Structure 1
Amino acid sequence: MASLTHLDLRWSNFSGHIPHQLGHLSNLRYLDLADIAMSYCKIGPNFPMWLQTQRSVTNLHLSNAEISDKAPGWFWNWTSNIVTIDLSDNQIEGDVSEIVLNSSFINLRSNHFKGQMPQLSTNVKELHMANNSIFGRISSFMCQKKNRKNQLMVLDVSNNLLTGALPHCWKYWQSLTHLDLGSNDISGRIPYSIGSLVALQSLHLQNNRISGDIPSSLKKCSNLSLIDIGENPLSVAIPPWIGEMTSLTILRLSSNGFKGHIPLQICQLSSLIVLDLANNSLWGHIPNCLKNISAMTIPTPKLEAQNPYSILYRGTYVENLKLVPKGVELEYEENLGFVKIIDLSSNNLSGSIPSEISILSELCFLNLSRNQLIGKIPEKIGIMKKLESIDLSQNHLSGGIPLSLSSLTFLSHLNLSYNNLSGKIPLGTQLQTFDALSYIGNPQLCGNPLPRNCTIMEESQNRTSIGKTEEDSNNSNFYIGMGVGFAVGFWAVCGVLFFNRTWRHAYFRFFDDMKDWVYVTTVLNENWLLEKLRSCHL
């Protein structure tokens, strides 16, 4: 088949190794062997040397091919005319410090590449190098003169070993729409010049050592839909101007040191589907105006429910985000558009849970645990029919569990433990399916699945109440009698002395005589003791 130009064997049932005769197809322009045998094409462990004979290939997809070899030196020159390269999810080794990349779409993620960042030609539109061992200062790459004329739109170098401060040369990268520098060792402040990225749609800086505040210049990035600055030592207040970024759909600022109140301006972000402020030092009340986030009240159209951050060139960019919706960290990619979550856990928030929160009928995950919240669980929480997870544990909530909670048919995770809730757990199709750990730490709570029987508990409380009533009655009679007796005795004596002059004089004369007798007796005993001591001394 010497004239073959396109070979696409994706999603086939072939297995085994690729025959070396494939290298004889010198006219081949497109080769895709991904996902063969419903898993992956087994090309490795050696790097496919037969690629070197191919002269017309324009698209190379060898992801998950079990290659655990070093990329040969000729390979990078060979790719200079390749439009898309996908070598992701292998164990390919090699130093990329001195290479120049020319393909439009390059995916080298999840391999063993090392060295400093490579140089880019103006042809490169997407560069994915996440999950490798790329090191060096990020500014050395971003501010390199050879990269200043780049046309890069997607840069993902997350989960590497990059160091240093964020650069000030963002004006050379104004075509960037998606920037992911998460999970590196980047330090310093976010520079004001980052506002030059006017086309930016998503910004990932999570899990670094970035400090200081969020610069107000970020407002210039009017298309910004996602901000993830979690797991950094930021220790300032959340800026109120963030409410002006009306395109935001995802705001993740968890595990920092943010202080102060939750700014009311966040309620202006009507498109927000993810609000994650967990594990900070925020205090004050939960804003009532969260009800204004209309994206959490309107059903998501099916066409928009997929990942809203996909860009299709020769390949597809898929946004990703790590969240903790049900007590376990999960990574969302294609299904990110389905997630609607409010996570304010592990702060110092006080006051009651605003009843207005029940208006957010499309909310899927609600986590307010480990705060100082008081009052009752909102009675209308059952209106939030899409809730899959509720965590209100480790607060000071009181009162009963609302009956409406039992009507949440999608609920698969519930934690109300360690509060001051009381009464019977409502019967329903959902609440009895959770184990006792979901309710533990509420001494006055009873009913299935807790071992405390509500009937026995009520009888015990009644007996205690009756016993207390009788005891209180006896004590009350005793103190009343004692008070009356004291009053009668007091006025019986004082009244006679007050009205009878002869008795009054006799009474006070008696006390005068007693005083004189005590004085004389004390003086005589004292003199006797002194005489005794003198005789002993002699």
Structure 2
Amino acid sequence: MCSNHTVVRCNEKDLDILLTFKHGINNSLSMFSRWSTEKDCCVWEEVHCDNIIGRVTEIDLSTYFFEYASVKVLKGEMNLCILDLEFLSYLDLSWNDFDVIRIPSIQHNITHSSNLSLGGVDLHKETNWFQVVNSLSSLLELQLFDYNLNNFLIGTSIRYLNLSSLVTLNLDENNFTSHLPNGFFNLTNDITSLDLALNNIYGEIPSSLLNLQNLRHLDLSNNQLQGSIIDRISQLPNFQYLDISANMFSGLIPSTVGNLSSLKHLFIGSNNFSGEISNLHFSNLSTLFSLDLSNSNFVFQFDLDWVPPFQLYQLSLRNTNQGPNFPFWIYTQKSLEMLSGEVLGHLSDWRQLEIMNLGENEFSATIPINLSQKLEVVILRANQFEGTIPTQLFILPYLFHLDLAQNKLSRSIPKCVYNLTHMVTFDAEELPVDIIIELFTKGQDYVIDVRWERRTIDLSANSLPGEVPLELFLLVQVQTLNLSHNNFVGTIPKTIGGMKNMESLDLSNNKFFGEIPQGMSLLTFLGYLNLSYNNFDGKIPVGTQLQSFNASSYIGNPKLCGSPLNNCTTEEENSKITENEDDESIKESLYLGMGVGFAVGFWGICGSLFVIRKWRHAYFRFIYGVGNRLYVTLMVKLNSFC
């Protein structure tokens, strides 16, 4: 039995609103060229309609970022008339570059469960956005991250918010530079996720936090908050994610934190907490997945035979003092993929490890050999490691960040077949979670999110001798290469010109010699270069790239010459000029001699023919005789073929 199926077309009101919004967009994207009345608006790209009533319910025009480019960047006017779509339940305009934000009076309240995301849009000059958002009383999720709302929490404006249905609120990276008003946590009793990170918020957390009994996700990291907070938080039983790191919280960590049995992620590092921390704090956290206690003054008092009820994926103990009895329970964590701490003797047990950050500790002896083949990031900088770099490090197929700087490594880099696949071929896959690491590149310290795979090799500040293996310069995807402050010798191979993605190159303070390869001028992404204090000679290759750096990139190479250096010797320049002048003089003399010889020979023969009659007659008789002989020879040959 067959039945007729009627396709409901886009509602006319919705169509008019979408066309009004499109009219303000100054964009050449082909997507908007297909936002045409010739097609039903329900089939337009990034527009979704309800299949039954034909009304627009979802619009996603956010920008997606990749390592070298971004996709779908909208410019022009962001007309929030789009909020007049009566059945709109999801709107995302994040990370675009709107010049003007038009906020008309909204005629309809959103009546359905809804999500509004305008992250990365600058609203600090707008005065009526607050009223518009406040009119959306049925809003469930509001994302205003990186929005420059620096006046949002000032004064008493917070009390006028009417977002009683809100369950998710993201206001991170808005530079509030304010305290939290007492009534802030009275916004709604149903909120489950709250993000206020990176806002310069100061002062203490209001007691109204305890009103949010349904809160599961709280991020207050990277602010200037003070006081004691853990006592209050431990009274909220539904926590799954808690990040209060990088603040100024103080006091003891009460054992009641162990009552948060649903907790999966706990980040409390980089504060002023003190006192003991032991297995009593974690005995009931059976679902704990990631733990950050870094940069803290805790006294570790774990029972030596304690076995945790959890298996961690991520553990950070950077800049902590584990005391004379290192927590043996860490050795039981077989699922670790990200680490810091004194665990070198058991590294071979973690076959799933992807991130290893043991930087800035006091580890000594040699670098471990039996490492996980899944390692993507290895950071061992600022320790006391000695000896050689294990060959195994150069055959890790997923490795894209290797930092061994500031150690005591003193043997040549291994010459082997490098199997660093991620440093040869491009793979834009992201890591599964947000991982922040410190990176030294372009002569500065950076903090980066390694989800964007920045291919880095840093072997600086060791005592590495000998020549750099050619294989290292065949890793064409490397963006940062730092070999400075070692004892390397030899020349830079021409193959360095193939490292097209290089952004930061530091070979300073070594014993390299020879000329700088011409191919280095082809490194068009190069933003930092330091070749100073070596034994390079000759002239710096001419090209806009190498001449764009100042003289400090080349100083300390007495025999190096050319722009931008000013120390090219006059004698050297004069000798080159003299050589050029000598060459030109020789050429001129040669050409002049040839010309004179030709003239003399020509007139010596031809002039004699014209002046001396006997010679002239003899010459023409000779020519005539040659012609007769050629004629006779030709006729004889022809007759022989007949």
Q: Which residue of structure 2 lines up, in the alignment, with residue 403 of structure 1?
A: 518
Q: Which residue of structure 2 lines up, in the alignment, with residue 323 of structure 1?
A: 439
Q: What SS does the aligned partner of 2:487 have?
A: coil
Larger RCO (CA under 8 A, 6+ residues apart): 1
Q: Which residue of structure 2 lines up, in the alignment, with residue 357 of structure 1?
A: 472
Q: Structure 1: which amino acid aligns with 2:553?
A: S
Q: Which residue of structure 1 lines up, in the alignment, with residue 170 of structure 2?
A: 61
Asked if structure 2 preserves the Cα contact closer than 8 Å seen for 1:386 and 1:410, the reply is yes
Q: What SS does the aligned partner of 2:571 have?
A: helix
Change over 3 Å in CA distance of 1:274–1:458 after alignment to 2: same
Q: Which residue of structure 2 lines up, in the alignment, with residue 234 of structure 1?
A: 363
Please state how far the C-alpha of 1:341 moved relative to its aligned partner.
Answer: 0.3
What per-residue deviation string (whole Å, max 9, x for no partner) do you get for residues 178-197 of structure 1?
A: 44444434577999999979
More helix per residue: 1 or 2? 1
Q: In the TM superposition, what are the counterparts of 1:34-49 in structure 2 within 5 Å?
A: 34=144, 39-40=148-149, 42-46=151-155
Q: In the TM superposition, what are the counterparts of 1:54-133 in structure 2 within 5 Å?
A: 55-63=164-172, 64=174, 66=176, 68-70=178-180, 72=182, 81-88=190-197, 89-94=199-204, 103-114=215-226, 115=228, 117=230, 118-119=233-234, 123-133=238-248
Q: Structure 2: which amino acid aligns with 1:129?
A: I
Q: Which residue of structure 2 lines up, in the alignment, with residue 482 of structure 1?
A: none
Change over 3 Å in CA distance of 1:33–1:384 after alignment to 2: closer
Aligned match for 1:8, one of 93, 102, 116: 116
Q: In the TM superposition, what are the counterparts of 1:471-510 in structure 2 within 5 Å?
A: none
Q: What SS does the aligned partner of 1:366 have?
A: strand
Q: What SS does the aligned partner of 1:113 have?
A: strand
Asked if structure 2 preserves the Cα contact closer than 8 Å seen for 1:400 and 1:421, the reply is yes
What per-residue deviation string (whole Å, max 9, x for no partner) do you get for residues 152-206 of structure 1?
A: 3333334322446875677765644444444434577999999979864444444
Aligned match for 2:565, one of 426, 450, 457: 450
Q: Structure 2: which amino acid aligns with 1:294?
A: T
Q: What SS does the aligned partner of 1:453 have?
A: coil
Change over 3 Å in CA distance of 1:174–1:411 after alignment to 2: farther
Aligned partners of 1:339 and 1:402: how far apart in 2? Answer: 25
Bigger shift: residues 263-272 or 281-290 = 281-290
Q: What percent identity do the matched residue pairs reach?
A: 31
What per-residue deviation string (whole Å, max 9, x for no partner) do you get for residues 350-378 of structure 1?
A: 22211111221111110010112222223
Q: What SS does the aligned partner of 1:213 have?
A: coil
Q: What SS does the aligned partner of 1:288 have?
A: coil
Q: Which residue of structure 2 lines up, in the alignment, with residue 441 of structure 1?
A: 556
Aligned partners of 1:33 and 1:446: how far apart in 2? Answer: 56
Q: Which residue of structure 2 lines up, in the alignment, with residue 275 of structure 1?
A: 402
TM-score (norm 1): 0.69
Aligned partners of 1:359 and 1:130: how far apart in 2? Answer: 40
Q: What SS does the aligned partner of 1:240 have?
A: coil
Bigger shift: residues 58-67 or 161-170 = 161-170
Q: Structure 2: which amino acid aligns with 1:61?
A: N
Asked if structure 2 preserves the Cα contact closer than 8 Å seen for 1:190 and 1:213, the reply is no
Asked if structure 1 preserves the Cα contact closer than 8 Å seen for 2:357 and 2:380, the reply is yes
Change over 3 Å in CA distance of 1:293–1:415 after alignment to 2: same
Q: Structure 2: which amino acid aligns with 1:425?
A: I
1:392 partnered with 2:507: yes
Asked if structure 2 preserves the Cα contact closer than 8 Å seen for 1:210 and 1:233, the reply is no
Aligned partners of 2:342 and 2:189: how far apart in 1? Answer: 42
Q: What SS does the aligned partner of 2:402 have?
A: strand
Return 5+ residue gaps in structure 2 as ranges: 1-107, 324-340, 579-642
Q: Which residue of structure 1 lines up, in the alignment, with residue 609 of structure 2?
A: none
Aligned partners of 1:136 and 1:176: how far apart in 2? Answer: 23
Aligned partners of 1:190 and 1:431: how far apart in 2? Answer: 56
* Alignment size in residue pairs: 441
Aligned partners of 2:305 and 2:545: how far apart in 1? Answer: 52
Q: Which residue of structure 1 lines up, in the alignment, with residue 388 of structure 2?
A: 261
Aligned partners of 2:284 and 2:389: how far apart in 1? Answer: 35
Q: Structure 1: which amino acid aligns with 2:385?
A: F
1:413 partnered with 2:528: yes
Bigger shift: residues 179-188 or 371-380 = 179-188
Aligned partners of 2:110 and 2:343: how far apart in 1? Answer: 57
Q: Which residue of structure 2 lines up, in the alignment, with residue 377 of structure 1?
A: 492
Change over 3 Å in CA distance of 1:281–1:104 after alignment to 2: same
Change over 3 Å in CA distance of 1:456–1:23 after alignment to 2: closer
Q: Structure 1: which amino acid aligns with 2:403?
A: D
Q: Structure 1: which amino acid aligns with 2:215?
A: S
Asked if structure 2 preserves the Cα contact closer than 8 Å seen for 1:33 and 1:41, the reply is no
Q: What SS does the aligned partner of 2:249 have?
A: strand
Q: Structure 1: which amino acid aligns with 2:440?
A: V
Q: In the TM superposition, what are the counterparts of 1:218-233 in structure 2 within 5 Å?
A: 218-233=347-362
Aligned partners of 1:300 and 1:326: how far apart in 2? Answer: 23
Return 5+ residue gaps in structure 1 as ranges: 311-317, 464-538
Q: What SS does the aligned partner of 1:50 have?
A: helix
TM-score (norm 2): 0.59
Aligned partners of 1:193 and 1:239: how far apart in 2? Answer: 26
Please state how far the C-alpha of 1:269 moved relative to its aligned partner.
Answer: 2.2
Aligned partners of 1:232 and 1:383: how far apart in 2? Answer: 36
Q: Which residue of structure 2 lines up, in the alignment, with residue 50 of structure 1?
A: 159
Asked if structure 2 preserves the Cα contact closer than 8 Å seen for 1:189 and 1:213, the reply is no
Please state how far the C-alpha of 1:233 moved relative to its aligned partner.
Answer: 3.1
Q: What SS does the aligned partner of 1:295 have?
A: helix
Please state how far the C-alpha of 1:391 moved relative to its aligned partner.
Answer: 0.4
What per-residue deviation string (whole Å, max 9, x for no partner) do you get for residues 485-531 of structure 1?
A: xxxxxxxxxxxxxxxxxxxxxxxxxxxxxxxxxxxxxxxxxxxxxxx
Aligned partners of 1:165 and 1:229: how far apart in 2? Answer: 23
Aligned partners of 1:402 and 1:83: how far apart in 2? Answer: 59
Asked if structure 1 preserves the Cα contact closer than 8 Å seen for 2:406 and 2:462, the reply is yes
Q: In the TM superposition, what are the counterparts of 1:280-295 in structure 2 within 5 Å?
A: 280-289=407-416, 291-295=418-422
Please state how far the C-alpha of 1:257 moved relative to its aligned partner.
Answer: 2.7
Change over 3 Å in CA distance of 1:436–1:99 after alignment to 2: same
Aligned partners of 1:411 and 1:376: how far apart in 2? Answer: 20
Aligned partners of 2:205 and 2:520: how far apart in 1? Answer: 57
What per-residue deviation string (whole Å, max 9, x for no partner) do you get for residues 327-360 of structure 1?
A: 1111212x74241000111112122211111221
Q: What SS does the aligned partner of 2:204 have?
A: strand
Aligned partners of 2:550 and 2:304: how far apart in 1? Answer: 50
Asked if structure 2 preserves the Cα contact closer than 8 Å seen for 1:200 and 1:223, the reply is no
Q: What SS does the aligned partner of 1:423 have?
A: strand
Q: Which residue of structure 1 lines up, in the alignment, with residue 268 of structure 2?
A: 157
Asked if structure 2 preserves the Cα contact closer than 8 Å seen for 1:355 and 1:378, the reply is yes
What per-residue deviation string (whole Å, max 9, x for no partner) do you get for residues 182-232 of structure 1?
A: 443457799999997986444444455568833444555444322323223
Aligned match for 1:346, one of 457, 461, 465: 461
